[in-house]
Amino acid sequence: MSKYVNTVLGPVAAADLGKTLMHEHFFFGYPGFDGNPKYKKSFDELVTAGVEVANLAKKHGVQTIVDATPSDCGRNPEALAEISRQSGINIICSTGYYYEGEGAPAYFKFKAGLGTAEEELYEMFTNEIENGIGDTGIKPGVIKLGTSKDVITPYEEMFFKVAARVQQEQDIPIITHTQEGTMGPAQAELLVSLGANPKKIVIGHMDGNTDIRYQLETLKHGVYVGFDRLGIQGFVGAPMDKDRIVVLLGLINSGYANQLTLSHDTVNIWLGAPTIFPPALAELIKDWHIEHLFQNIIPQLKEYGIDSEKLEQILVENPRNIFNS
């Protein structure tokens, strides 16, 4: 029997999710983006751009997109719901917070000092999952977590503890952010040690590290690993796609296709003032868009002998199993 997944338009059977991108951002803003009202994006702007992106993904058979934007980085469930309504694509939104260095830690660090942060987080996660975000009635379908480069800070560990507790009670997947190819094995070990179900964990941005030993050290915990920054090259510590493909091929050919997910971590609208990349960087990330996997990466995988059955496993069966476990 298929379990049901909370999308922004209500429950959908996990069996009906279809081809799924497990880590994207329709819109994203670093905390502080809303300080200058001059650059506030209207609801219609967000929806129009989002529908365009969703329709591009649909051209390649995508039926579901997980929007990994956490609470402190411009999450907008009502805009996501309208994008889903107009495009016909399933969108799953997140509860959770970004990693300490680029999130908004002041509030919960203050509450941690008072000894009340963990219970407040537990109440917030639980209430959003059971009743919806604010007064929208829109329920998140995943918990988003993150860690810093080379360390899981005490602030970040607090979120991991709460997320593991909530996951056990709510049966909800956890997706993560790893920074610059570090802490994947540590994230997996910590969550599993806290009682989280490894079959409902995706350690994200694992393609930030091209050492296959790092991948295997994470996979041994039974979790999924996300090669989900495809198209980001030479930016935020990211390797080149050609090197990622070598590692991806190694993992698939070693029997790990059933523990992989693929996505881009695209930011389709940057909240705040216009984000302008220097020309050299803009050239490096020119393929960082929602079609890149289908236009460039999958054709290369096929050239190297990866068949449709393996791709179906990664893009359809694995996401379904993550939500259905």
Q: From residue 319, how far is each of 38, 107, 150, 173, 312 by CA, in Å? A: 39, 33, 28, 10, 10
Q: From residue 8, how far is each of 129, 167, 220, 292 by CA, in Å? A: 12, 19, 33, 25
Residues constituting the chain: 325
SS (H, E, C) 237-270: CCCCHHHHHHHHHHHHHCCCHHHEEECCCCECCE
Residues near 189 by beta carbon (within 8 Å), at least 6 away in sequence: 221
**Rounded Cα–Cα distance for residues 317 and 319 (Å):** 6
> In the prediction, which pLDDT does 39 show?
97
Instruction: For residue 201, give the H/E element and its range.
Output: strand 201-203
Instruction: DSSP for 100-164, please give it.
Output: TTTS--HHHHHHHHHT-HHHHHHHHHHHHHHH-STTS-PPPSEEEEE-BTTB--HHHHHHHHHHH
The listed CATH number (3.40.640.10, 1.10.150.120, 3.40.50.2300, 3.20.20.140) that belongs to domain 4-324: 3.20.20.140
**Rounded Cα–Cα distance for residues 42 and 60 (Å):** 28
For the chain, residues with pLDDT lower than 70 are none
> In the prediction, which pLDDT does 235 show?
87
Contact 96, 159 (CB under 8 A): yes
> In the prediction, which pLDDT does 2 show?
86
Annotated domain spans of the chain:
4-324
Using DSSP's 3-state secondary structure scheme, residue 235 falls into coil
